[in-house]
Amino acid sequence: MEDKESEREFPAFPYKPYSIQMDFMKALYRSLDKGGVSMLESPTGTGKTLSMICSALQWVVDQKQKKKSETVESDKNTTNEGSCGLDDEPDWMRNFVANKDCQPNDNKIKKKKNGYGLRKSDKRRNEESCRDLFSRGMEKDDFCTKKECENLQKANDGSELNDEEFLLEEYESEEEEAIGSGKSKRKAGGVTISSSINEEEEEEDEDVSEEEEEEEFKVYFCSRTHSQLSQFIKELQKTVFASKIRVVCLGSRKIFCINEEVLKLGNSTRINERCLELQKNKNKEISKIKNLGAKGRVRQTKACSGCPMLKNHKLQKQFRSKISEQGALDIEDLVQLGKNMQTCPYYGSRSMVPAAELVVLPYQSLLSKSSRESLGLNLKNNIVIIDEAHNLADSLISMYDAKITLSQLENVHIHLEKYFGRFRSLLGPGNRRYIQTLMVLTRAFLQVLVNEKDENCVNQDAKKIGAKTGFDSSMAINDFLFSLNIDNINLVKLLQYIKESNIIHKVSGYGDKAASLQKGSALKDNGESCEETSILSGFRALVDMLLSLTNNDGDGRIIISRPRPISFGQQGGFLKYVMLTGEKIFSEIVDQAHAVILAGGTLQPIEETRERLFSWLPPNELHFLSCNHIIPPESILPVAVSNGPTGQAFDFSYGSRGSLTMIEELGRLLCNLVTVVPEGIVVFFTSFEYEEQVYEAWKTSGILDRITKKKRVFREPRRNTHVESVLKEYKQTIDALSDGPKEDPRSLSGAILLAVVGGKISEGINFSDGMGRCIVMVGLPYPSPSDIELLERVKHIEGLGDSNSTKPSNISSSDEYYAGDVQAGFGILRSCRRRGKEYYENLYMKAVNQSIGRAIRHINDYAAILLVDMRYASESSKRSCYSHPTNKLPQWIKDRLVSATNNYGEVHRLLHQFFKSNKNRGCQ
Ligand code: SF4
C-alpha cells in the first residue's frame, strides 16, 4: 500500500498517455484503493475508456500480485494456524478472501439460489411443477417430425377442457403474523413469477448450467447501450488485458438470441417470454410424450421441444472453452461464435460469469437488484464501474417504474372471472379467497381508469380529495389504496400467493385453451398464441404494479391516466407507478461493492446526483475528479448565435418557435452554413414534431432546395431500427462528396443531418471528423411541463433534504390531480424554490451537452458548435447566475464560448476563419 502515486505506471496503456490521461488513471487507481464512491469526469474523445481499463485492471492485477506475495510470505511464517490470518490486508481484500476461504460454500449456495445449476431435488420439483403447466401448441421444429407434431397437436386439440390440467392445487398460507417473513406453504411446487423490472429475472432452464465454479474477484463494467459495450471491448482489445483477464460480455436475449423462430417475434418481451416458454415446454412435452407412449407410441423424449440451441450441453461447454481461448470477445463475436457452433450465446455467456474477472454488461442488468440476483452477480467486495453515468439517477429509478394499461387490466379481469366461474366449486378456500381478492383489485383499478363521468365509488372518492377535471392525476400509494378501498388487502401475502400458486399460468392457460377450442386452433404461424402472450404480459404488468404498491408511501407516486377521446388524439388509459427515490436502490450497490466508480463525459451537476443517490455518504467518502479536454483551444469554436442573417433575433421558446419568421430565419442560417462549413453538419431540434414542422416549411418556401444545392439533407428517422441505414448513407455521402478537388465550387460538398435531442442520434452516435464539423443546437430543449411524471420528480426533488421530503412546503396540495396542460405545469415549476427548478433546468442542459458532445472525438478532431437562441447569449450579468444555460456547459466548452455576437456577420467571419485555419493546420 506504500506505492508512491507519482511513480505509478500503467504499462498496459498502448500509447504514451497525455497528462490528463495519467491524471485520470491515477485518480481511478486511488479511488479503488480507498473504496467508496467516486465520480470521474473526462470529456469524450480523451481516451476515457482506455484509461479506465488500464487503471482498473492494473489495480486488480496489482492486488492479486500483492496477495500472492503475501500468501507466500505468510506460508513461510505461519503453519496451520487455522484462521483466515489476513490482518495486514486492506478491509476489502480481507473480506473478499474471507468470503472465499472461510466460507467455501457461500458462493455455491448463492449460485444455486440464483438459478444457476439447480440441485437435483430442485430439478425434480421443477419438472413436477412443469407437468402442471397449461397446454400450448407445440413448436414445429427440426427435431420433431411433422407427423409426430401433428399427432400430438391433434391429441391436444381434440381434448376437452380438462379440469385437472388447470385446477390449482390447494394453497394454504400460514397465519397472518408469519406473512412478514414471507412464509407460506403449498402442496406442490410451482413456477416462479416475478416483476418485469428486468427482462432477465425469470425462471431459468435447469439444464443450462450444471457446473459450479469458484467465484473470481470481479470488475463489473456497465454502460448504457450494447454498442457502447462493444466499443469497450474494442478498447480492451488494444491492451494486454484482453488476453490476460477472463472477460465476459452480457446482453439481452434480443441481442444474443440465434433462434430465428424466436427472433422474428421482434420485441424484447416476446423474445424473453418465448425463450423461457420453450424451456418450460421441454419439460412439458417430455411428460406428454411419455403419456402418449403408454398408448403404444415410443420415441425419444427431449428432442421434440425446447430451444434447439440448448439441446446439446456439450456444445455449451465447448462454447465456454472457445471464449476462454479467444480472449475478450464482443457481442457480435459471441453471437457469431454461437451461430457457428449452433449453441445459444446468451446462456453460454451467462454461464461464464462466475469464472470471469471482468464482466461487461448493460446498465439494467447491474442496477436492478432482481436482475443481479437472476444473473448471479455478486457485488460483495467487488468493483463496479458505471460509464455514461451522466443521467444515472433518472435511469436508475426508471427501472423500478411499473405500468399496466386499461386493456391489460380488462384482459386480466375477464380471464380471472372466467376461470373463477369455471372452477369455483372445485377450488379450495385458499385459492377462492385469493382469486376473489385479485378480482377485487383489478375491478378497482379498472374503475379508477374509466371515464370520470361514470358514477362509481372510486371516482366519488377521488372527487372527495379534490380531483380537477383532466385526464391525468397522481396520488401517493396510501391515498391510492384508501381511495380505492383496497387498503385492507395484504399485498405481500397476495404476491406470495401469486408467486407460489402458479395462478398466472393456470388462468392464462385455461383462457388460451378455451379460446383455442372456440376458434379451432390457437396456434399461429410462429407457434405462439398472441392472445396468450398478451394475457401473460397483462399478468406480469399487474404483478409489477402490486409490487410497486408495497413500496414505502413516499418512494413513488401513482399516475392515473384516463383514456382520452379520439378528439384528444390518444386512446387507452393506464396506471403507472413512478419511482421517485433512488437512494435506497443505489445504497444496496454501494454497501456491497468495494468501490463504485461513476464515469462520464460530463457528470455535472454533481450536487444533484449526490442529493438524489447518496446524500447519506459523508463528503470525505465521495471523490470527484474532472479532467480537461486534450484538444487544443483552436480545435473548437462554440458560439452562441442570437441573431440570424437578416438580423432577426432567434427565440425558440414555446410561444414563438412555431412562427414562420423564426423558421425561415433558421433556414437562412442553414443556407449560409452549408457554404462555409465543410463536410457534415448535424442540426439538433427539440422534438420530432418541431423538426417536421421546420422541414415542411423549408420545403414550401424553397429553402430546402437552396440547402440541397450544397449539401445532401438527411433526417433522423423516428424508428430506431432505421437509424443505422440513414447514418451509413450520411457518412458515405460525406466521404464521397468530400473526396478529391472541387472543380465546381457550386457542387455538393457534404451532407446535413436533421436530428432530434433525446433521439438515438443525440445519445449514442459519434460524429467524429467529417461526420460532424458543425453541430447546431436549435433552441433550448426544455422538457414539456405538461409531463406529469416529470412534475412528480420535480416536486420530489424540491422536497429533498426537507423534513418531509414528499411534500415540498411551497407546492400546493391540490396538485395531486393534474389537468395535464402546460400552464398547470408552469404553475408547479414556479412554486419550486430551488432544487426542483434546478432539476428541470439541468435536464435540458444535460440533453444539450449530450448532443453537442457527439462531435470532437479525438485529439486531432475539430468542430464548431452553434447554440442558436438568444437565451444562450444574454448579457454577461445574467450569465454569472448559475441557472444561465451557458453555465451548465462542460468547462472546456464554456471556457471557449463566444457568447456575445452583435450580428450574424461576425459569426460567419468566425466560422470562415476557424475552418480555414484548421484546414491549414492539416487536422484530419
Ligand atoms: S435459448 Fe438462446 S437461442 Fe434459444 S430462444 Fe433462448 S435466447 Fe434464443
Q: Which grid coordinates belong to 497?
A: 400467493
Query: Which ligand 1 atom minimizes the distance to the CA of 310?
Result: 1
729 and 825 together in one domain:
no
Q: Look up residue 325 and give its amino acid.
A: E
Distance (Å, whole) CA 845 – CA 830: 19
Q: Which residues are paired to 625 by β-bridges?
A: 40
What residues are paired with 598 via a beta bridge?
Answer: 39, 386
Ligand 1, residue 308: give the atom nearest the CA. 4
Mean pLDDT value of segment 478-495: 94
The helix/strand/coil state of 802 is coil
Do 750 and 834 share a domain, yes or no?
A: no
Q: Are residues 821 and 748 in the same domain?
A: no
* Total structural domains within the chain: 3
User: What is the CA(274)–ligand 1 centre distance, in A?
Assistant: 9
Ligand 1 atom at shortest distance from the alpha carbon of 262: 5
Amino acid (one-letter) located at 866: L
CA of residue 546 to ligand 1 center, whole Å: 29
Cα–Cα distance measured from residue 701 to residue 870, given in angstroms and rounded to the nearest whole number:
24
Domain final residue, candidates 398, 415, 437: 398
Backbone angles phi, psi at 173, to 5 degrees: -100, 155
For a pLDDT cut of 90, what percent of the chain falls above it?
42
User: Which of 355, 374, 398 corresponds to the end of one domain?
Assistant: 398
User: Rounded to whole angstroms, how far apart are CA atoms 67 and 87?
Assistant: 12
The mean pLDDT value of the chain amounts to: 78
CB-defined site of ligand 1, < 6 Å = 253, 256-259, 262, 275, 278, 307, 309-310, 344, 346-347
Ligand 1 pocket check: which of 209, 347, 351 to mutate, most ligand atoms within 8 Å of Cβ? Answer: 347
Looking at the DSSP assignment, which residues form a beta bridge with residue 360? 221, 249
- Contact between 254 and 341 under an 8 Å Cβ cutoff? The reply is no
Buried-exposed string 288-324: b where 16+ CB fall within 10 A, e elsewhere: bbeebeeeeeeeeeebbbbbbbbbeeebbeebbebbe
684 lies in the same domain as 826: no
> Do 762 and 821 share a domain, yes or no?
no
In a shared domain, residues 822 and 895: no
**Mean of pLDDT values over 493-503:** 90
Residue 826 lies in a domain: yes
> Residue 376 C-alpha to ligand 1 middle, in angstroms?
19
Site to probe by mutation for ligand 1, drawn from 141, 142, 258 as the one with most ligand atoms within 8 Å of Cβ, is 258
Residue 199 CA to ligand 1 center (angstroms) comes to: 14
Within-domain flag for 732: yes
Q: Are residues 682 and 819 in the same domain?
A: no
Q: How far is the CA of 405 from the centre of ligand 1 (A)?
A: 29
Mutation choice for ligand 1 from 202, 307, 313, 350, CB with most ligand atoms inside 8 A: 307
Only one residue has cell 428517422, namely 717
Query: Where do runs of H (alpha helix) occur along 502-654?
Result: 503-519, 530-548, 583-592, 606-613
The per-residue pLDDT for range 51-63, each reduced to its tens digit, is 999 999 999 999 9
Q: Is the pLDDT of residue 3 over 70?
A: no
Atom 8 of ligand 1, residue of closest alpha carbon: 257
Q: Which atom of ligand 1 is nearest to the CA of 278?
A: 5
How far is Cα 229 from Cα 388, in angstroms, rounded to an integer? 11
Contact present, 599 and 31 (Cβ < 8 Å): no
Residue 906 placed within a domain: yes
Is residue 66 classed exposed, middle or buried when 0-12, 13-18 and 19+ CB atoms within 10 A define those classes? middle
> Is the domain of 249 the same as that of 386?
yes
Same domain, 231 and 130: yes
pLDDT value of position 459: 42
Say whether pLDDT at 523 is over 70: no
Adjacent-strand bridge partners of 171: 186
Counting ligand 1 atoms within 8 A of each CB, the residue from 139, 261, 262 with the most, and so the one to mutate, is 262
Q: Please count the residues of the chain.
A: 924
- Contact in structure between 575 and 569 (CB atoms under 8 Å): no
Packed helices 226-236 and 48-77: angle between N→C axes, nearest 10 degrees = 60
Examine the domain organization and report whether 791 and 765 are in the same domain: no
For residue 825, what is its C-alpha cell? 405545469
The rounded distance, in Å, linking the Cα atoms of 203 and 116 is 10
Interval between CA 254 and ligand 1 midpoint (Å): 9
Name, in order, each residue with C-beta under 8 angstroms of 17's C-beta and a sequence gap of 6 or more: 10, 25, 47, 51
Q: Is 858 exposed, middle or buried (0-12, 13-18, 19+ CB in 10 A)?
A: middle
The answer to whether residue 76 sits within a structural domain is no
pLDDT in tens, 554-585: 899 999 988 876 665 556 789 999 999 998 89
Lowest mean pLDDT among 147-156, 485-494, 508-517: 147-156
Instruction: Tell how far the Cα of 309 is from the centroid of ligand 1, in angstroms.
Output: 6
> What is the three-state SS of 123-188?
HHHHHHHHHCCCCCCCCCCCCCCHHHHHHHHHHHHCCCCCHHHHCCCCEEECCHHHHHHCCEEECC
Q: How far is the CA of 258 from the centre of ligand 1 (A)?
A: 6
The pLDDT, as a whole number, for residue 630 is 83
Q: Which residue in 353, 351, 352, 335 sits closest to 343, CA to CA? A: 335
The answer to whether residue 684 scores a pLDDT higher than 90 is yes
- Which residue's CA is the nearest one to ligand 1's atom 6? 275
Which residue has a Cα nearest atom 7 of ligand 1? 257
CATH code of 890's domain: 3.40.50.300
Whole-prediction pTM value? 0.75
Instruction: Give residue 227 CA to ligand 1 midpoint distance, Å.
Output: 21
**Which cell numbers hold the place of 59?**
489495480
The amino acid at residue 609 is T
Residues 6+ apart with CB under 8 A from 874: 884
Q: How far is CA 401 from CA 394, 552, 572, 582, in A?
A: 11, 14, 19, 12
With bands split at pLDDT 50, 70 and 90, how would you rate the model's confidence at 455?
very low
List the residue whose alpha carbon is closest to atom 5 of ligand 1: 275
Does an H or E element contain 622, and which? strand 622-626
List b or e across 232-249, with b for residues whose CB sees 16 or more CB atoms inside 10 angstroms.
Answer: bbebbbbbebbeebbbbb
**pLDDT band at residue 881 under the 50/70/90 scheme:** low
At residue 874, the pLDDT reads 65
pLDDT tens digits, 573-624: 899 999 999 988 999 999 999 999 999 888 878 888 888 898 888 877 788 8
Q: Are the C-beta atoms of residues 779 and 652 closer than 8 Å to each other?
A: yes
| Residue whose CA lies nearest to ligand 1 atom number 4 | 307
Q: Which residues on adjacent β-strands are paired with residue 626?
A: 41
Please state, in angstroms and rounded to a whole number, the distance separating the CA atoms of residues 446 and 573. Answer: 10
| pLDDT, mean of residues 873-882 | 59
Atom of ligand 1 minimally distant from the CA of 258? 3
Mutate to test the pocket of ligand 1, among 346, 350, 528 (most ligand atoms within 8 A of CB): 346
- Between the CA of 302 and the centroid of ligand 1 the distance, in Å, is 16
Q: Verify cis geometry, omega within 30 degrees of 0, for the bond prior to 605.
A: yes
In a 3-state reduction of DSSP, which class is residue 495? helix
Yes or no: say if 189 and 128 are a contact pair by the CB < 8 Å rule: yes
State which ligand 1 atom lies nearest to the alpha carbon of 345: 2
pLDDT confidence bin for 148, thresholds 50/70/90: very low
Residue 446 placed within a domain:
no
**DSSP code of 567?**
G
Whether the Cβ atoms of residue 411 and residue 446 lie closer than 8 Å to each other: no
> Tell me: the pLDDT tens digits for 66-111?
888 877 777 776 655 544 433 444 444 444 444 443 333 443 333 3
Question: Are 677 and 864 within 8 A, CB to CB?
Answer: yes
CA of 310 relative to ligand 1 center, distance in Å: 7
Q: How confident is the model at residue 305 (pLDDT cuts 50, 70, 90)?
A: low
Helix, strand, coil percentages for the chain (3-state, nearest 5): 55, 10, 35
Distance (Å, whole) CA 279 – CA 347: 12
* Residue matched to cell numbers 485520470: 24
Phi and psi at residue 864, to the nearest 5°: -100, 145
Atom of ligand 1 nearest to the CA of 256: 7
Over 70: is that where the pLDDT of 384 sits? yes
Q: Whose CA is nearest to atom 2 of ligand 1?
A: 344
Distance 307 CA to ligand 1 centre (A): 6
Residues 364, 298, single domain; the answer is yes
Domain end position, chosen among 398, 426, 453: 398
Tell me if 93 is assigned to some domain.
no
DSSP classification of residue 98: I
Per-residue pLDDT averaged across 41-48, rounded?
A: 86
Q: At residue 426, what is the residue type?
A: L
With a cut of 70, say whether residue 442 has pLDDT above it: yes
Taking alpha carbons only, the member of 424, 410, 415, 420 closest to residue 515 is: 415
SS3 333: helix
Q: Is the dihedral of CA 326, 328, 333, 339 positive or negative?
A: positive
Give residue for cell 449560409.
672
In this structure, is residue 286 part of a structural domain?
Answer: yes
Range of the domain at 753: 633-784+852-921
Q: Which three cell numbers stand for residue 143?
A: 427435431
Q: Coil, helix or strand for 38? A: strand
Query: Element (H or E) spanning 120, and its range?
Result: helix 120-131
Amino acid code (one letter) for 219: V
Q: How far apart are the C-alpha atoms of 298 and 291, rounded to whole Å?
A: 10
Among 207, 261, 265, 310, the mutation site with the greatest number of ligand 1 atoms within 8 A of its Cβ is 310
Spell out the long-range contacts of 745-749 with Cβ–Cβ below 8 A and sequence spacing 24 or more. 746/709, 748/709, 748/710, 748/711, 748/712, 749/674, 749/678, 749/679, 749/710, 749/711
Q: Which atom of ligand 1 is nearest to the CA of 253?
A: 7
Distance 206 CA to ligand 1 centre (A): 14
Residue 753 burial (C-beta neighbours within 10 Å; 0-12, 13-18, 19+): buried
| CA 545 – ligand 1 centroid, Å | 28
Is 729 inside any structural domain? yes
More confident residue, 744 or 640: 640
pLDDT band for position 535 (cuts 50, 70, 90):
confident
Beta strands 636-641 and 863-868: pairing type? Answer: parallel
In terms of average pLDDT, the best of 28-37, 296-305, 762-771, 844-853 is: 28-37
- Expressed in angstroms and rounded, the spacing between residue 731 Cα and the centre of ligand 1 is 34
Least confident residue range of 470-484, 571-585, 800-814: 800-814
Is residue 457's pLDDT more than 70? no
386 within 8 A of 222, measured Cβ to Cβ? yes
Closest CA to 45 of 606, 886, 627, 605: 627
Report CA(262)–ligand 1 centroid distance (Å). 7
Quickly tell me which residue has 393456470 as its cell: 506
How far does residue 373's CA lie from ligand 1's centre (Å)? 20
205 CA closest ligand 1 atom index: 1
For residues 457 and 821, give the distance between their C-alpha atoms in angstroms, rounded to a whole number. Answer: 26
Which of 309, 311, 331 has most ligand 1 atoms within 8 Å of its beta carbon, as the pocket-test mutant?
309
Distance from Cα 253 to the centre of ligand 1, integer Å? 7
Instruction: Please count the CA atoms within 13 angstroms of the CA of 608 that sit on its side-chain side.
Output: 26
Residue with cell 411419455: 290
The counts of H helices and E strands in the chain are: 38, 20
* Same domain membership, residue 333 and residue 233: yes
Distance 318 CA to ligand 1 centre (A): 17
